[in-house]
Amino acid sequence: METVKIGSFNIQKFSKNADHERLKKLADIILSSGVDILAIQEVYAKVAIDNLLKYMGMNWKGKWESPDSKSASAAEGYGFIWNEQNVVLSRNRRGKVFEPTIHNQYPHKEFGTLIRNPFYGRFTLKRDEMCELRLINTHIMFSKSKSVNDSEDHEESTEGDISMRKKEFEVLASKILPKISNKDYDKIWGEEDEICRKPYTILLGDYNLNLRSSGAKGAILDDDLAFIIVHDERSEKQIITIQDQLSTLKKKNPETQKIEGYSNNFDHFTYDQTRPIETKSWVIDAPKDPKFFNGDFDEYKRLASDHLMIVMEISFT
């Protein structure tokens, strides 16, 4: 049975200014997780990814891109980094490599366009080139207000902001994910006929929405969105969203002026559960880990993020 580990990490305001101490700590957290591919959100410059790769080891590669937008908040970039010992970028039979790119193709115009388009990458396993991972890296906008998006505190939500996030998620999960999943790219020549790779499509990232099962308060992803049935020209798809552990830091306690635990369950994975895979997911609890921050949440926020990294292990049956 083949397995692969995919991660997602909103690295708070990750920019060219990240110093040695921060880059070393981030690399240690990522490497200790054992992920093969990591989707990163809130990346403000290509050089931030380039600098992180210097700490990851010679087998790691990466790609950065930012969506087009008039809003500085919406234009915030994304990254993918991956371990080429285990996975590589997909290529067609003529050797052309599919580079990760901002996805701006909307199959259903009546839903409108997203405020911040996702970052789409295609990867194949080195052990099985017929298995393709199609990853849709997203960071759903927290608010329509630039001042709120740029603030340090993303806990207060308005009803309008939450409705906007749900609508954005619906477009990603029920329209873009199925359309990408159905795509037949360049066919590979088989012994008897032309065949296509087996695609496994996963939406992942910071949704700014909580699963009800997490116990987090407010900004709940409704049950009819956490599990969506899509009927299309190919099949029925059962689109499920997982990872219900808390993944963001609390505000500072006004009495102690320290961060003391977790608040929201904003980071998730979404996929079609009718595909023949087994999954499990978890958070990397680096703030509490004695190897890293040993309970010092403020130091974790300073050197890493206000989010935890999440991991999904996929077993192909």
Question: How many domains, in total, are found in the chain?
Answer: 1
Note the pLDDT tens digit of each residue in 277-316: 899 999 999 999 999 999 999 999 999 999 999 999 999 8
d(CA 86, CA 84): 5
Q: If residue 149 lies in a helix (H) or strand (E), which one and from where to where?
A: helix 146-149
Q: Looking at residue 227, which CATH number applies to its domain?
A: 3.60.10.10
Note the pLDDT tens digit of each residue in 185-225: 766 544 444 556 788 999 999 999 999 999 998 899 999 99
Confidence at residue 276, expressed as pLDDT on a 0 to 100 scale:
83
257: Cβ–Cβ under 8 A, 6 or more apart, which residues?
none
- Residue 1 in this model has a pLDDT that exceeds 80: no
pTM for this prediction: 0.93
User: Where do runs of H (alpha helix) occur along 242-296?
Assistant: none
Range(s) of the domain holding residue 185: 2-316
Note the pLDDT tens digit of each residue in 13-43: 999 999 999 999 999 999 999 999 999 999 9
* Sequential DSSP letters for 236-252: EEEEEEE--S--BBPPB
